A and B are shown apart, each in its own frame.
Chain A
Amino acid sequence: MNYISSDDRYREIIKREMSKLKRSVKIKVFTSKSISSNQTKIQECMDCGLFMNLIRIYEENSNGFLTIEEMYIDENPQFSKDYDITRVPTVLFIDEEGRELIRYLAAPQGGEVQPFVQALFAFAGAGNYYEATIKQNLDRISPSTIKVMITNSCPYCPQVVAIANLFAIAASGKIRTVIIDIIANPDIGKFYDAAGVPYTVINERPAISGMVGPNEILRALIGGKIRVQY
């Protein structure tokens, strides 16, 4: 897996964008230093050390507004039970009421920088473009999980990820998003027969393959027409 390099243009984008963060936000990253020795069934899908180096770039450039809480599952195996961690590294966005909104089984690098930054800002309370319509239709959405399967070479994946993340943040705990790099997690891709990305699975129903827009995702969540009042 290629991680961000010191001269990567995306490092500059992270620096530029994270410096605009004006509200505090905290996310958890679950890692392990010795995954093979703790006798758990947890898989290491990406190198935790390199992953943390990447995640710290976001934190270091946020003027202290982003806090990354690194959770070592070796030191506290109970974490894996409490937070349903089956592989590391895993990033969780957990709201103030303890609800998991977003789970990343993917590295926010390359094109995935943009949706990750957007999610951090929205999670911190910045404006969310989709929020009004999501709220208007919230009573028609049952508790849902959107799984977005991606690869790092996919130009359309970041756009689907951005929409799914913003939906989850707008939905007050009713929507949970899981972002999965299926090159790093081939077993998940195989489980869903995914051989193309973006590959979006909503509530375990048949997947939507390819680029999918916000109205299509919302319609799939509702199972009917979207109610809109400006």
Chain B
Amino acid sequence: MGSNPALPAFLKSSREAQVYPMSAPYMGCNLRDLANAEDTTVEAMRGKRVGIDSFLLAFQFLTTIRDRSPTGDGGPLKSDNGKVVAHLMGFLSRASMMLAKGVKPVFIFDGSHPDLKKDEMDARRAKREQAEADWKAALEVGDFATAQKMAQRCVKYTPEMVEESIEMLTLMGIPAFRAKAEGEAQAAVMAANGQLDAVATQDWDALLYGAPVVIRNLTSDGSKRMGRVIRAQRIELSQLLTENELTRDQLIDLAIMIGTDFHPGIKGIGPKTGLKLIKEYSTIEAVCEAKGKDIPDRLDEIREVFRNHPVVEVDDDFLKQGDVDVEGLKKFLVEDRQFSLKRFDNAMDLLEDAGLVRTGGQTSLFSF
């Protein structure tokens, strides 16, 4: 997989208009100060069915698996035939790593964003478009350093790339699908109704959507960032609520005051003040009345998005790990996308160790 000196194919894409209006990973409402996160490991999730918030992860791959050669454009890594493969490379390695460690991942991608999120999406789109213009300008004058910086800010994850990711995961026998709306919300609802054991996401909002257990940094556990080792962290909703003496509805109101994807929040109220106020007054309406603030627009709609997020119904059978389609996966990666045989074989070794590669008609007990 070498660098392609030409402008990335997706820049010229006529499908530009359909591109997801998301520019950078968003971490959700900052609940860090409320949460008593405990260090954990991938190994500790062995045997657990974990819903993976895949959109954020794809962005992480697209911004970190890049063409960093001195004259590279800094964009996501592409194969020699010009296809972006950074997202697939990332999903392949993380998914096989998780399977090898006995985790049962379920990859959940965003569907359509709630109408309430329009302002946020517009802002992100504007930011990305600016970065894109700066990127092209820098490439034109041969300023590769700036180009590489800008490239990270205008990464796009197109519907085709989502479909492609789902296709690859399906070939690996892994359940993968698109949510009705927000991916982390779909995962949270499924965790709350017992279909999943935990939600892996960086997005704190998963707690607002009712995820009983959220794991942060699951896919980057053990990796190094800026000289320090990243550890997976486990946050339990019930513990968070008990320790802060909050109900879930109060937590949602608190988050709305601090600021969420759907509303910028009430000016002058941060996590600390917010917590104090919500404990004293219990609801946003009461806080606003006591403090002479305006009640956020469409408050009830925002609350509803957190309390009853639209989700697709997923059958339990669909969530079972299937067998790896070795030939299909090889064609998809090696033939069609020029992955090296070595990379493919490494992934296969991990999957074989996990007992997921079947040969000669041997069935699994769980297919009966």
Partners in one complex: no
Interface residue ranges, B against A (CB under 8 Å): none
